[in-house]
Structure formats: structure tokens, C-alpha cells
Amino acid sequence: MKLTVVGAGYVGLVTGACFAEMGNDVLCVDLDETKIARLKRGELPIHEPGLQDIVQRNVAAERLHFTSDLKEGVRFGTIQFIAVGTPPDEDGAADMQHVLEAARSIGRHMTDYKLVVDKSTVPVGTASAVHETLARELAARGVQIPFSVVSNPEFLKEGAAVEDFMRPDRIVVGADDERAVHLMQALYGPFQRSRDKLVIMDIRSAELTKYAANAMLATRISFMNEMALLAEKLGADIEQVRRGIGTDPRIGHHFLYAGCGYGGSCFPKDVKALLHSARGAGQPMLLLDAVERANERQKHVIVERVVQRFGEDLTGRRFALWGLAFKPDTDDMREAPSRVIIEALLARGATVSAFDPAAMTEARRLFARHDGVHFAAAPMDACEGADALIVVTEWKAFRAPDFDRLRQVMRQPLVFDGRNLFEPALMRALGFEHVSIGRRDAAQPGIGWQDAPQVATRLAA
């Protein structure tokens, strides 16, 4: 099939490259001429494991092409994927200008049937708006050309997007006409040879499914962070709690890790957009409001513990920070907890020496005007002379450091473990002061049954 993907960002590039890998002829369109020039040279604008090889292989095979010419893009593919950004407005609403502009361009230049696919994460009702936009453009031209609009939300995890696309657990398609359904079935056939993974539903339900999925995952994270803070108060260990509830098949093990909050391009934006849609519909979302508030609080927990240890004035203090990206295997720092932590430390007079395996270029751009942030060439270099190490992102490279050397290069052996990478008892045995989130060292006294009356009294108060 001949496909056009409008938008060569994270979703668009992965979508285009993976469809080309399955033998389709794909043209990716982006108005950013610098990005298109880089892609034509084989340079990727994002860090995503496995994507570089797929892009280079399919460019060489002449199945994957790039252009900044929208008219060329519209004329190219029968199926037109809209995969442009939908950043949040100040009120949390998804900014739809790029989606609707893509629809206008398709309407201006189409000369035969087009299946327009909303791949971007968009609010419920967007497909209707895209349909109306296309109809207006065709009417303005005085032509009648058939077209269909469907919703096909992406469910890609940053750091595992290629695997998610090539081996999906489900493919959601919202459509209301038979021709569109048949085309989507044919397009996704190669991705579901082992079993039927296509979930066909009405368009509005498909649009809501994407938001509901991300909101549910965000809820699990915030819930576990709430439980971790409670576990500390009660003398329990959140890691043992996680294992205990994760064995329940109704709950499972995924997204149950306590830490310093979620970030990235999806969860924060989509929670805000869903809350905005709910307010517009006159339907309060009490749980989701709490999820967002809990996450914002969680991003400050590590800083609060630093202040408890060193005081409000951190002038002259130097902190090593491992991890800048919001999660491993990506260079994405949008809404990353590291940004909140660094800015809070700088505001109190501290300096920060940071390292991340992938996000250093983005971090240098974001903190270019901050004299107090320095970037190290290696994890251990960041810890030279540091008053404490703060672990923010759970990269595999951070899981088993040389603790003897770490203790030697730091001013004092103190680790604020924002992702619970290290076992408290082991850290204590190695001579480290270890501050975690919801963990309990076996040597620390917990709250026993004999303390129950006092605990009950405190909780009742």
C-alpha cells in the first residue's frame, strides 16, 4: 500500500518506518525542513531503540521517503495518517491546530479517495472535526471526492515503541464505514498473523480508549506512590507490598513501582486533556484530579528529603544526579521529574552535576541559562565531590555501580534513591546512608501489633 504520514515526530516516524518494514511504500511529511534534511541523511531526531536500523534499511530499499511538501504528501498515499503533535494549552486542552491544518491540506490537494487516519492522541470528537474540515475544503473547491475518517490511536511506550508497533497486543480502530474498515484490516493484516488483534469500535469510543488507557496507567503510578508514603509512616516496605498485590491476576505487576512521579509526553498531557474534556462535558473526574495532584507532589518528595537532611539553604552543596529523561531508553525530558528536582535545588543555592545515557543534548538545551548545572561524561564523574547522589531515572547502567569507588569519590556516602534501585539493607552494609521511597531497612524497627492502638488514635485524629 501507499501511505502518507503527516508528522515525522515520535509517533509519525515510528509509524512510517514500521509500516515500511512490512513492505508498504511510505512518505513521511513534516514542515520542519531541518528535520527532513536530517532524516534524509539518516539522522534521527529522537532516541528510540531499534528505530535507526529500520529507518536506514527502508530508506535504502526505497520504501521510506521524506518530504516537507504537503501537496506531494497528499497526492502520494491513499491512506493519510495524521500524526502531528497535540501539545497542551494553558488550560490543559489539547492544541488541535496542527491536526486541523493537516486536514485542511488534505482537503485542498486530494484528487481521489483518501482514508484519513487520526493517529495523534486527540480529544473525543476530533474525527468529526476533521471530517467537517475536509468537507469544507472540498466544498470551497467545488468538487465532490469521497473520503473516510477513522481513529487509530497509538499505544507505544517510549523506549519500546518499535517492539510495540511490530508486535501489538491490540490495534484499536474507530470507524463508521465498511470501506475504511476493510482498508485498515488489510493494512494491519501482517501485524496479526498469530491472532486477530484488531478491535473495531465506533470512532468516539476509540478516541476515548486512548485517554482512558493512559489515565488508568497514571492512576496506578500515583496510587503506588501514595501507598509508598503511607508505608513509610506505618513501617511497611512498599516493595514487599508491590509483590504481594502484583501476584493477584486482577492487578498484575505492571506500573506498580513507587518513585518520584511520572513524566513524558503522554501521561501528564493526556490526564490534563481528559480532565479538560470532562469539565467541558460537565462531568467531574474526582479520581483523576487526585491522580494529577498526587503526581505533582511526588516530584517534590526527593527535594523535601534533601531539605530535611541539609536544611533549606543549600548554598555550597553539590549534588550528583543520575537520570534526566523521564524514563529509561529515551531522551525525552518533557515533564520529567529531573527538571523539577534540578530547578528546586538550584533555587536553594545548590549546584548539580548530572549524567544521562541519552538525554544530555536535550538537558543542555533546557538548562543552557543555568550556571549551576554541569554535565558529566560518565556517572561516576558526576559524583566527584558530591554531598549526595540523587537517582531519578532507572537506567540499567545505574543498577549495579562500583559502590566502593562511589563511596570514595563522594564527600559523604549518601544516596537519595528516587526509583528504589538499591536494597536498603545492602546499602547500609556497604556504608551508605540510603534514602528511598517507601522502603524499609530490615534493621529499622517497624510498627508492630502492640503499636496498633496508638496508630489508630493518630489516624482517627
pLDDT tens for residues 268-305? Answer: 999 999 999 999 999 999 999 999 999 999 999 999 99
Which fold, 2-201? Answer: Rossmann fold (3.40.50)
pLDDT at 460 over 50: no
pLDDT in tens, 421-434: 999 999 999 999 99
> What is the per-residue pLDDT for 442?
53
> What is the per-residue pLDDT for 93?
86
pLDDT at 169 over 90: yes
pLDDT band at 453 (very low <50, low <70, confident <90, very high): very low
pLDDT at 446 over 80: no
Rounded to 5 degrees, φ, ψ at 132 are -65, -40
Q: Which residue has the cell 460537565?
A: 282
Homologous superfamily (CATH) for 214-435: NAD(P)-binding Rossmann-like Domain (3.40.50.720)
pLDDT band at 55 (very low <50, low <70, confident <90, very high): very high
The C-alpha cell at 446 is 517497624
Radius of gyration of the chain (CA): 25
**Mean local confidence (pLDDT), 142-166:** 96
> What is the per-residue pLDDT for 194?
81
Distance from C-alpha of 49 to C-alpha of 395, rounded to nearest angstrom: 14
Contact 49, 83 (CB under 8 A): no
pLDDT at 456 over 80: no
pLDDT band at 458 (very low <50, low <70, confident <90, very high): very low
Residues belonging to the active site: 266
pLDDT band at 87 (very low <50, low <70, confident <90, very high): confident
- DSSP per residue over 327-361, as a string? STT----TT-HHHHHHHHHHHTT-EEEEE-SS-HH
Q: Of 455, 422, 413, 454, whose CA–CA distance to 441 is shortest? A: 422
Q: DSSP alpha helices (H): ranges in 61-177? A: 70-76, 97-109, 126-141, 161-166
**Mean local confidence (pLDDT), 219-241:** 97
**Mean local confidence (pLDDT), 39-66:** 94
Contacts (Cβ under 8 Å, ≥6 apart) of 452? none
> What is the per-residue pLDDT for 284?
93
> What is the per-residue pLDDT for 94?
85
Contacts (Cβ under 8 Å, ≥6 apart) of 393? 322, 323, 324, 325, 326, 327, 328, 336, 338, 356, 419
The C-alpha cell at 239 is 516493595
Percent of the chain with pLDDT over 90: 90
> What is the per-residue pLDDT for 452?
42
User: What is the largest distance, in Å, between two alpha-carbon atoms of the chain?
Assistant: 82
The domains of the chain are located at 2-201, 214-435
pLDDT at 364 over 90: yes
Question: Would 2-201 and 214-435 be classified into the same CATH topology?
Answer: yes
Contact 331, 325 (CB under 8 A): yes
Average pLDDT value over all residues in the chain? 94
The C-alpha cell at 211 is 485517554
pLDDT in tens, 109-128: 999 999 999 999 999 999 99
Please give the residue that has the higher pLDDT: either 149 or 192.
149
> Could you tell me the pTM of the whole model?
0.90
**Mean local confidence (pLDDT), 368-393:** 97
The C-alpha cell at 238 is 512498599
433-437-443 Cα angle (round to 5) = 50
**Mean local confidence (pLDDT), 348-372:** 96
Residue 400, judged by CB atoms within 10 A of its CB (0-12, 13-18, 19+), counts as exposed
pLDDT band at 251 (very low <50, low <70, confident <90, very high): very high
> What is the per-residue pLDDT for 444?
53
pLDDT band at 91 (very low <50, low <70, confident <90, very high): confident
